[in-house]
Each structure stands twice: as structure tokens, then as C-alpha cells.
């Protein structure tokens, strides 16, 4: 038997660390642009991926703004797969309005989907994740988690809160080999971004094309971040390669 060369050994080690074969993953917000890309990335790496969203085809439907909805989705995956190793909490929504005109119901809805929901999901999934050998959690935060932006009070507050949730969960799960991290994407060309263009244009007294140009100008590369770039980062964070990364928020902003 011939010995493997150092390069071959390196390639084998890399492939082993990259693979998610035998792992069961749950991805929320799976119907949206970023969610679809994350699902595809994890499946390409070999994971058994279960998508969850409020509506859409090929996913489990659950209201992730509620404790019951989050419990139901975890029970659904455990009932189908018998285990849960990877939890990607990506559900999101947006509303743009000045603070003094921000509807109370929108404040409650955004906070419920993007902060309460991840807490309820983590709580429901905790026994399965800490039982898994090397459980992984990734929560979608935002570059908005690090600062403010006019007319996005609920979104900004929820995304700031996500970082606190992630850091506490990272500390509490570390002894069981669980890692909990966040990602902070910059501007991406997704349905949610397109959905707020008109409101942004009215607020800034610009055309939608001018708003897009402004978004581009806010990044050094002068372009939107592609959802595949964000999904690849998620793929790394949930892989064996990232076993030493815990309680971090990785910026993917260009």
C-alpha cells in the first residue's frame, strides 16, 4: 500500500471538515432568497435539510413569531429525522417608518419574528442540540446589529437583541460542544430588500434607482453581497471546520 502524499492528506482532511454527511439541519425563512441559498448550500454539503417558513411549497409551515409555532417546527423535524444537529434561524421581516409614526403592531411583529422567535426556537431545540455531537446554531443578524439607521427602529432593535441572545446561548452550550454564532449580511438583492425600496425612496426623497445606487455606494466593492456568499459562510459555521468559533458575529458585507 502506498502512502498518501501530504497534499492528498490535506485534501482528505479538508473534505471531512467540509462535509455535513449524516447531519440533520433545520433552516427557517427557507422560502426567501437567502433561505433558499442556505438550504442549497447545506444540501450540497450532504446534510438532511428541513425548511420552515410561514408559507410556500416544500417547507413545513409554522408561525415563528409564536412559542407554539417554534415548538411545532422542532417537534416536526425530530419526528421525521429523530435528531437535530444544525439550526439556522433565518426568518425575517421589515417595516420602514419614522419612529413617531411606527405602527405598534409592526413593532410587535418584527420583534416577535426576529428576536422572540429565535429564543423560542433555541429553547425548544436545546435538548436535541446539546445531545448532538457538535451541535451548531447560526442566527441571521445584520450589519444593522452594530449601529442605527433611520426609520428602522424595530428591525434595528431586534437585530441588536439577536447578538445578546447568541452570546448567552454560546456560553451556556459550550460545555456540551454546541456552538452558537451569528452572521451579519450587508445589503443583498433579495425580496425583502426589494420590498422596502419604495418606502426608502419616499423617506429619502429619491427614486428607487437612486436608492439602489446609494446602497451600492455604502459598500467598498460597490455591489450587493450575493446570497451565495452568505450561504457559504453559514456552511462553514455549521461544519466541523468551525468547531472553535463560538459566540461570534461574522460580517458578510463586502
Q: Give the residue numbers annotated as catalytic, written as ranges.
A: 155
Which conformational region is residue 133 in: left (phi greater than 0), alpha (psi within -120 to 50 degrees), or beta?
Answer: beta
CA–CA gap between residue 211 and residue 195 (Å, rounded): 13
pLDDT tens per residue, range 164-179:
999 999 999 999 999 9
- The pLDDT of residue 105: 98
Edge to edge, the sheet with strand 136-140 lists 60-61, 48-53, 24-28, 86-89, 136-140, 179-185, 249-252
Between residues 40 and 188, the one the model is more confident about: 40
Residue 113 lies in a domain: yes
**Could you read off the pLDDT of 49-67 as tens digits, one per residue?**
999 999 999 999 999 999 9
Q: What is the pTM of this model?
A: 0.87
Q: What is the CATH number of the domain that holds 172?
A: 3.40.50.720
Asked whether residue 65 is domain-assigned, the answer is yes
Please state the rounded mean pLDDT for residues 208-221: 71
In a domain, 86, yes or no: yes
| Residue 74 lies inside a defined structural domain of this protein | yes
Confirm whether 9 is domain-assigned: no
Structurally, the chain folds into a number of domains equal to 1
Q: What is the pLDDT of residues 135-162, one digit of tens each?
A: 999 999 998 898 988 889 999 999 999 9
Neighbours of 190 (CB within 10 A): 19
What was the pLDDT predicted at 90? 97
Phi, psi values for residue 48, rounded to 5°? -90, 100
pLDDT tens for 219-238 read 777 777 889 999 999 999 99
Q: How much is the pLDDT for 9?
A: 39
Element spanning 9, H or E: helix 6-18
Is residue 196 domain-resident? Answer: no
Residue 151 belongs to domain spanning = 20-188+226-252
The pLDDT assigned to 13 comes to: 45
Q: Is residue 193 part of a domain?
A: no
Task: Give a yes or no: residue 204 inside a domain.
Answer: no
Amino acid at each position: 500500500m502506498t502512502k498518501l502524499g501530504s497534499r492528498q492528506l490535506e485534501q482528505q482532511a479538508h473534505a471531512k471538515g467540509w462535509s455535513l454527511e449524516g447531519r440533520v439541519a433545520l433552516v427557517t425563512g427557507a422560502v426567501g432568497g437567502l433561505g433558499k441559498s442556505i438550504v442549497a448550500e447545506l444540501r450540497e454539503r450532504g446534510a438532511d435539510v428541513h425548511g420552515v417558513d410561514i408559507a410556500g411549497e416544500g417547507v413545513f409551515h409554522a408561525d415563528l413569531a409564536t412559542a407554539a409555532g417554534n415548538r411545532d417546527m422542532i417537534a416536526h423535524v425530530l419526528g421525521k429525522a429523530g435528531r437535530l444537529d444544525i439550526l439556522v434561524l433565518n426568518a425575517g421581516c421589515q417595516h420602514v417608518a419614522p419612529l413617531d409614526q411606527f405602527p405598534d403592531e409592526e413593532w410587535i411583529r418584527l420583534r416577535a419574528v426576529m428576536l422572540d422567535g429565535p429564543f423560542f426556537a433555541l429553547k425548544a431545540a436545546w435538548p436535541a442540540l446539546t445531545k448532538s455531537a457538535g451541535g451548531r446554531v447560526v442566527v441571521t443578524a445584520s450589519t444593522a446589529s452594530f449601529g442605527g439607521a433611520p426609520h428602522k427602529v424595530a428591525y434595528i432593535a431586534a437585530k441588536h437583541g439577536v447578538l445578546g441572545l447568541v452570546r448567552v446561548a454560546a456560553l451556556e452550550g459550550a460545555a456540551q460542544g454546541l456552538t452558537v454564532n451569528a452572521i451579519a449580511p450587508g445589503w443583498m438583492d433579495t425580496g425583502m430588500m426589494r420590498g422596502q425600496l419604495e418606502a426608502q425612496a419616499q423617506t429619502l426623497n429619491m427614486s428607487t434607482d437612486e436608492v439602489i445606487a446609494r446602497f451600492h455606494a455604502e459598500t467598498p466593492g460597490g455591489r450587493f453581497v450575493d446570497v451565495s456568499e452568505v450561504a457559504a459562510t453559514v456552511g462553514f459555521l455549521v461544519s466541523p471546520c468551525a468547531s472553535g468559533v463560538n459566540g461570534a458575529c461574522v460580517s458578510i458585507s463586502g
